[in-house]
Structure 1
Amino acid sequence: MASTASNAKPLKSQVGGHAGVLTTEDGSLIIKPALPLELEFYQTVQQSEELEHLSMFLPSFIGTLTLEGEIDEKKSAELGNISVNPVDAPQRDETLVKVYDNITSEAVNTPKSYGKSIKPTDLPDGIARFFPVGVPLPQEGEERPAAASTTGLPVQTLLSILKGIHEEVTEIREIFSELEIRMVGGSLLIIYEADWKQAEEGLKKLDDDQEGEEDSDQEDDEDDQGEEDNKRLGPPYAVKLIDFAHTRLTPGKGPDEGVLLGLDTVIKLISGRIGQLEQHSQDYL
């Protein structure tokens, strides 16, 4: 029996890059047009022992999609791809989502022109803008201080997240120092949880996983709801390398000095923000 695949639609949460990224109606898949070289790179990573350590910092690559009409489930399995019904993506101004407003629960958009016009001396301010310190939401009947930000996380939560991001970017830098590839126009994607409760719970779960403190002898009749909640709890942050349309292996040519310089700059900026937050924390003790 034929099944109707979900309609593809524009990805509303797209934060940059070229227009045209789609998602399935149920949000389970993101569909991004890829150039042949980018597809080749993802396939190479899956087969290369040399790039094995890099794969943990790449988006999960599960294959390709054919964007056309309906298809039988049997035929879909034989082809090894999925067919969906695409729709035209409307034209829109490009913006970058920087942060999350805890009052409105909406993303706070920063125009892409900001990133294009920023000067090297302004980079620390740009990092602070992306990693702001939040204040507790006012209780009913209370007034919010005029200078209080509606975005950002508590300073200690933000510090923990930044230190974790710093470790992962540093690890990526170490991996690239031993790889002979050229990555032109690539990007470092950094995402973190902006909801206070979710961020704190995500950090706690991460600590439990890393320290091996989770009880491995849980009873079979463990509360199903608790288990389901644990599955829904996402990581407090993620660091990924993206955009490989102009990436290629270059055996014998050494590491990509341009990528190393860029990663060094990111590491320096994050270190500076950590220092600011540690000082901020001390000022309020």
Structure 2
Amino acid sequence: MNLVPLEHRAAGHDGPMQSNDGAIFAKPAVQAELDFYNNILSQYHGSGAEIDEFEEPGSRLIHWMPRFFGKLASNDPGAGDDNVYIVLDNALHGFKKPSILDIKLGSILYDETASPEKVERMKKVSNETTSGSLGFRICGMKIIKQGDFELGIDGLNEDEVLDKDQDGFITFNKFFGRKLTDSTVSKGLELFFKKNDLPSKIQDQLIETFLIRLKLLYNCMLSEEVRIISGSLFFVFENDIDRWEELQYNDHIIDIFEYLSNDGDESGDEDEDEPSKKNLSTLKFIDFAHAKMTPGESYDENLVKGIDNLINIVEKF
């Protein structure tokens, strides 16, 4: 498989790649993340158990995760553990002009493997940002460039937090989210949903769709016995109005095909008519390098707090 640099990104470390056709996403592998995907798949499929096609969409964590194809050996020195990439479905595939939002969940940003120096550094980040107070932080954002852009958020300097000129998009760096406060984070989120050329009717539809997703995810996480440190919610929506019209404004709440077929098949073959490629927006739970199964330990309060506060803010738009 030939890999090229990822076309669109909003946050994260260097190294993400995609297949030539954009259908596949690959990033340097961390063994803990590979293990988590495999454990979630094993838990979902069970030992020879059949997939329940009639279970409530969005009721399981796997419903929100990118489709997992396994790992790919690489000679690239930038590859991860044992020179391999983790290979996933690219959530951006099929979008022509995507707006992207990456939100890191949790107030605790380190696990038991972190060095004392990293623990102190991550505690400082949490204490000084909305990670500590709200349980989430905007980690990165990319929106369509719209005329003469003005940020208009108190306490933020445009030169420090964004890049205005990047292929028709405005990209917000990690300092954007770190400088937002409890009182200004709603304005930061509002930029994502409303600073575009889409009609207000579509903007309202997107807000309602993402609210439904967040509420489904919240309920889902109440029944998942996992611990996920520094996991992220990955929001995407289409800015190309022609594609909205082509798909008759129909937007799937959950990518049903993906989780029913999430069997780790590494072939990467995709049917052009798959609903997952006809979404006008999507919400994915990503980044599991510091995640583990914790049977018998109930849900992850560190995650649920952030999702709940996100819901409360977006409901007011």
Q: TM-score range by the shorter chain?
A: 0.5 to 0.7
Tell me, in whole angstroms, the C-alpha distance in 1 between the residues paired with 2:248 and 2:178. 33
How many equivalent pairs are there?
211
Q: Is the 8 A contact 2:140 2:176 kept in 1?
A: no
The 3 A distance-change label for structure 1 pair 202 and 102 is: farther
User: Which residue, 133, 139, 142 being the options, matches 1:98?
Assistant: 142
CA deviation vs aligned residue, 1:42-66 (integer Å, no higher than 9, x gap):
1111111399822111001011111
User: Which residue, 203, 206, 209 being the options, matches 1:164?
Assistant: 209
Ranges in structure 2 where 5+ consecutive residues have no aligned partner: 47-58, 77-85, 88-138, 148-164, 256-271
Q: Which residue of 2 aligns with 1:268?
A: 312
Q: Which residue of 2 aligns with 1:243?
A: 287
Q: Which residue of 1 aligns with 2:6?
A: 11
Are residue 181 (structure 1) and residue 215 (structure 2) matched? no
User: Which residue, 33, 36, 60 being the options, matches 1:38?
Assistant: 33
Q: SS in structure 2 opposite 1:63?
A: strand
1:37 aligned partner, one-letter code: A
RMSD: 3.3
The 3 A distance-change label for structure 1 pair 232 and 246 is: closer
Superposition TM-score, scaled by structure 1 size: 0.65
Tell me, in whole angstroms, the C-alpha distance in 2 between the residues paired with 1:154 and 1:181. 40
The 3 A distance-change label for structure 1 pair 50 and 168 is: farther
Tell me, in whole angstroms, the C-alpha distance in 2 between the residues paired with 1:248 and 1:27. 29
Superposition TM-score, scaled by structure 2 size: 0.59
CA displacement at 1:118 relative to structure 2: 1.0
The 3 A distance-change label for structure 1 pair 232 and 56 is: closer
CA displacement at 1:116 relative to structure 2: 1.3
User: Higher helix fraction: Structure 1 or Structure 2?
Assistant: 1
Tell me, in whole angstroms, the C-alpha distance in 2 between the residues paired with 1:232 and 1:167. 18
Shifted more, 49-58 versus 39-48: the winner is 49-58
CA displacement at 1:127 relative to structure 2: 1.1
Are residue 191 (structure 1) and residue 255 (structure 2) matched? no
2:38 aligned partner, one-letter code: Q
Tell me, in whole angstroms, the C-alpha distance in 1 between the residues paired with 2:45 and 2:277. 32
Q: Which residue of 1 aligns with 2:81?
A: none
Structure of larger gyration radius: 1
CA displacement at 1:232 relative to structure 2: 10
The 3 A distance-change label for structure 1 pair 203 and 169 is: farther
CA displacement at 1:201 relative to structure 2: 4.2
1:271 aligned partner, one-letter code: E
The 3 A distance-change label for structure 1 pair 44 and 118 is: same
Percentage of pairs with the same residue: 25
Tell me, in whole angstroms, the C-alpha distance in 2 between the residues paired with 1:206 and 1:258. 30
The 3 A distance-change label for structure 1 pair 21 and 233 is: closer
Tell me, in whole angstroms, the C-alpha distance in 1 between the residues paired with 2:238 and 2:246. 10
CA displacement at 1:252 relative to structure 2: 2.0
CA displacement at 1:154 relative to structure 2: 1.1
CA displacement at 1:230 relative to structure 2: 9.6
Ranges in structure 1 where 5+ consecutive residues have no aligned partner: 70-80, 83-94, 134-150, 211-227, 274-285
Q: Is the 8 A contact 2:64 2:285 kept in 1?
A: yes
Q: Which residue of 2 aligns with 1:155?
A: 200
CA deviation vs aligned residue, 1:123-179 (integer Å, no higher than 9, x gap):
11011111115xxxxxxxxxxxxxxxxx24211111111111111111111011111
Q: Is the 8 A contact 1:166 1:271 kept in 2?
A: yes
User: Higher strand fraction: Structure 1 or Structure 2?
Assistant: 2
Q: Which residue of 2 aligns with 1:204?
A: 249
Q: Is the 8 A contact 1:41 1:244 kept in 2?
A: yes
Tell me, in whole angstroms, the C-alpha distance in 2 between the residues paired with 1:101 and 1:233. 24
CA displacement at 1:237 relative to structure 2: 0.8
